[in-house]
Each structure stands twice: as C-alpha cells, then as structure tokens.
C-alpha cells in the first residue's frame, strides 16, 4: 500500500491493515489532508480482499485530539464565521460513513488522549481497545461546538442517553477504566501491552469468515433504525447471502470433522 502519505502511516501484514495517525506533535489532530489520506487508505482496504481487519491508532502519546484548531483558525479567530457544516460534509462525514458501512471490522486502538472528533472516530470503529492511560474528552463544548462525526449518535448507542448527555455537556475527561465500565470501550490493557493485545484481537477477526462478519456488521447497524419486522426481514436477507458462501460450508464441515475451520473469504 502507498507509503507516500504524510499525515498517516499504513502497514499491511497478516490480513491486518494498521493505519496510524501521524501528527504526534499535535496529538494527531485532524486536518483536511489527513482526511484525504485516511479516506484513500480506507478505500484501498475496502477493495483489497487480503485485508480482513483494519486497526486505527495514533503515533506518539495521543490517539487524536479532534479537529486541528490551528488549521481552521490559524490566527486564533476569524473575522467571518467559518461554515463548519461544509467542512464536516466535505472532510469528516464521508470518513465516518465509510468506517461504519465498510464490510470489514475496524478496531480503534486508543493509545492516548482522544478529544472531540478523535472520540467520535474511535466510536465509529466497531471495537475499541485502549491503553490504561488513555482518556476520552468530548471537548466540543469547551469551544462552543456540538459533538460531530456522528458522536451524538454513536455515543448514545454505546453508553445510553443519560451518560452521553453528561459527557457531551460537561466535557470532562473520562479515564480508560471508567470508559470500559460504562461500555464505551471493549478492553483496557496496560500501555505497553496495547500493540500486542490489538494485534491478537485483529488476528482473531482476520481469521473469521469475512463475508459472514461483514454481513453481521451490516445487520447490527441496520438494527438501529429498524422495526422488529424489518430487522427479521433483513436478517433473512443477509443470511441467504451468508448461506451461499464456501466459508459457511467450510464451517459446517469443520464442525462435523471436529477440526478448526479455515475460512478463505469465498
Ligand atoms: O466543523 C468542523 O469541522 C468543526 C469540527 C470540530 C470537531 C472537533 O474535534 S472540535 C474539538 C477540537 N479539539 C479540542 O478542542 C481539543 C484541544 N486540545 C486539548 O484540549 C488538549 O490538547 C488535550 C486535552 C487533547 C491534551 O492536553 P495535553 O495537556 O495532554 O496536551 P497539550 O499540551 O494541550 O497538546 C500538545 C500539543 O498539541 C500542543 O501544541 P504546542 O502548544 O505544544 O505547540 C497543542 O496545542 C497541540 N494540540 C492539541 N490539540 C490540538 C492541538 N493543536 C491543534 N488542534 C488541536 N485540536
């Protein structure tokens, strides 16, 4: 995969694409250039059958400090207000859509502080594993803004309205342990164990049947807006597709032969 990125680093091995946000002196704050590069890496990952899991992490002591405030306000303030909605539509929303809709599991490996849209990016992933020293800060309120990058939806989904409201309105930092306690993250590990623990999880996901896994992601996302009837119909639809895969046959055959299945993505 292209090594010409300047705001991210990408590394593909063993079916895992690791995308490392790479502006460590700014705690990996998001810029438009990072958005373009992240979008390109995710598109490539989506198209490449050899990639079966994506890991999003950060270089240095931060995961992502949200929007780079210097990029939008290089002089501290602007005479004319910026159209932040346009900025979101162009740079951030397409990334969140891709993370949520691509039929491959995405792990956020939160290595340090996540703030503002950095929290939203972690929430847009399917699983979150984080370092014990990581913190989560819905910092939007501190600068008079509204949580974005789908944070108002995904936070409610992960932790419920009451906790989401408090996190967004008070904007206080949340420790990794507390984040796990309220269901915002799946796992917390010691800082030095994060890369290996992330890799173990990613390898497990990469060994699973990709089609079944991708369709499961679709069905779980579909459930948020569906009635019971609609969800039952949707499950039947995706199950028809999963039932036609060679991986499904392999799984059943392996069960009868009392062996570990080998899923090929067919
Ligand atoms: O429509 C739109 O697009 C608007 C979208 C908005 C989405 C958002 O994400 S809004 C929220 C933006 N993020 C923030 O407001 C967070 C700002 N940062 C902080 O509050 C703190 O930096 C942290 C709590 C994240 C970490 O604090 P600390 O003490 O560990 O580190 P630090 O010293 O503050 O930061 C280290 C450097 O990173 C520092 O640079 P310097 O001064 O040493 O040269 C700091 O300025 C820089 N940095 C941190 N966050 C950002 C940043 N630079 C630009 N933008 C940032 N968001």
Express each pLDDT in 167-204 by its tens digit.
999 999 999 999 999 999 999 999 999 999 999 999 99
193 token code pair: 């164990």
If you search the block for the tokens 């499904």, which residue do you land on?
248
What's the pLDDT score for residue 196? Answer: 98
Q: Are strands 8-13 and 16-21 parallel, antiparallel or unpaired?
A: antiparallel
Q: Is residue 201 in contact with ligand 1, taking CB distance under 6 Å?
A: no
From 23, 25, 65, give the residue whose CB has the most ligand 1 atoms within 8 Å, as the site to mutate.
65
Cα–Cα dist 264/57, whole Å:
27
pLDDT at 65 over 80: yes
Q: Is residue 168 in contact with ligand 1, taking CB distance under 6 Å?
A: no
pLDDT at 142 over 90: yes
136 in Cβ contact with 122 (< 8 Å): yes
Residue 112 φ/ψ, nearest 5 degrees: -170, -155
Q: What is the DSSP string of 57-72?
A: EESTTEEE-SB-HHHH
Kindly list the strands in the beta sheet with 135-137, ordered across the sheet, starting from the edge strand earlier in the chain: 62-64, 113-115, 135-137, 174-175
Express each pLDDT in 71-109 by its tens digit.
998 877 666 778 999 999 999 999 999 999 999 999 999
Q: Is residue 32 in contact with ligand 1, taking CB distance under 6 Å?
A: no
Helix (H) or strand (E) holding 153: helix 151-159
What's the pLDDT score for residue 260? Answer: 95
Q: Ligand 1: distance of its center to the CA of 100 in Å?
A: 25
Q: Is residue 88 in contact with ligand 1, taking CB distance under 6 Å?
A: yes
Q: Ligand 1: distance of its center to the CA of 29 in Å?
A: 7
What's the pLDDT score for residue 3? Answer: 60
Rg (CA), the chain: 19
What's the average model confidence in pLDDT over 55-74? 96
From 82, 115, 121, give the residue whose CB has the most ligand 1 atoms within 8 Å, as the site to mutate.
115
Q: Is residue 143 in contact with ligand 1, taking CB distance under 6 Å?
A: yes
Q: Is residue 223 in contact with ligand 1, taking CB distance under 6 Å?
A: no
Q: Please report how the helices 151-159 and 161-170 are oriented relative to each other, as an axis angle in degrees rounded to 10.
A: 130
Handedness of CA 152, 156, 157, 159 (dihedral sign): positive
Q: Is residue 67 in contact with ligand 1, taking CB distance under 6 Å?
A: yes
Question: pTM for this structure?
Answer: 0.96
Nearest Cα to Cα of residue 115 among 139, 133, 144: 139
Nearest Cα to Cα of residue 29 among 127, 146, 154, 116: 116
CA torsion 121-125-129-134 (nearest 10°) is 10
Q: Give Cα 3 to chain centroid, integer Å.
A: 21
Cα–Cα dist 235/179, whole Å:
31
From 27, 63, 133, 167, give the residue whose CB has the most ligand 1 atoms within 8 Å, as the site to mutate.
27
Q: Ligand 1: distance of its center to the CA of 109 in Å?
A: 19
Nearest Cα to Cα of residue 27 among 183, 137, 124: 137
Q: Is residue 26 in contact with ligand 1, taking CB distance under 6 Å?
A: yes
Q: How many CA atoms lie within 13 A of 127 on its CB side?
A: 20
Q: Is residue 70 in contact with ligand 1, taking CB distance under 6 Å?
A: yes
176 token code pair: 């990794």
- The per-residue pLDDT of the chain, averaged, comes to 96
Cα–Cα dist 214/265, whole Å:
11
């Amino acid at each position: 995969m292209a090594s010409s990125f300047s705001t991210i680093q990408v590394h593909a091995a063993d079916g895992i694409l690791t995308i490392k946000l790479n502006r460590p002196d700014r705690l990996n704050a998001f810029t438009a250039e990072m958005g373009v590069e992240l979008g390109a890496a995710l598109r490539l990952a989506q198209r490449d059958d050899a990639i079966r899991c994506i890991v999003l992490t950060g270089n240095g002591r931060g995961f992502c400090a949200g929007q780079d405030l210097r990029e939008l306000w290089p002089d501290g303030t602007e005479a004319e207000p910026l159209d932040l909605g346009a900025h979101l539509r162009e740079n951030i929303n397409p990334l969140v859509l891709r993370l949520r809709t691509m039929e491959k599991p995405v792990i956020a490996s939160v290595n340090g502080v996540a703030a503002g849209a950095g929290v939203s990016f972690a929430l847009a992933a399917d699983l979150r594993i984080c370092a014990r020293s990581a913190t989560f800060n819905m910092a939007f309120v501190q600068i008079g803004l509204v949580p974005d990058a789908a944070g108002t939806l995904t936070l409610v989904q992960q932790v419920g309205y009451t906790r989401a409201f408090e996190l967004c309105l008070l904007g206080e930092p949340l420790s990794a342990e507390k984040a796990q306690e309220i269901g915002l993250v799946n796992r917390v590990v010691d800082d030095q164990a994060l890369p290996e623990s992330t890799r173990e999880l990613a390898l497990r996901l990469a060994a699973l049947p990709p089609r079944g896994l991708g369709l499961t992601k679709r069905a779980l996302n579909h459930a948020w807006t569906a009635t019971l009837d609609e969800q039952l119909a949707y499950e039947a639809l995706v199950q028809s597709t999963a039932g036609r895969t060679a991986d499904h046959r392999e799984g059943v055959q392996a069960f009868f032969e009392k062996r570990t299945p080998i899923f090929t993505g067919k």
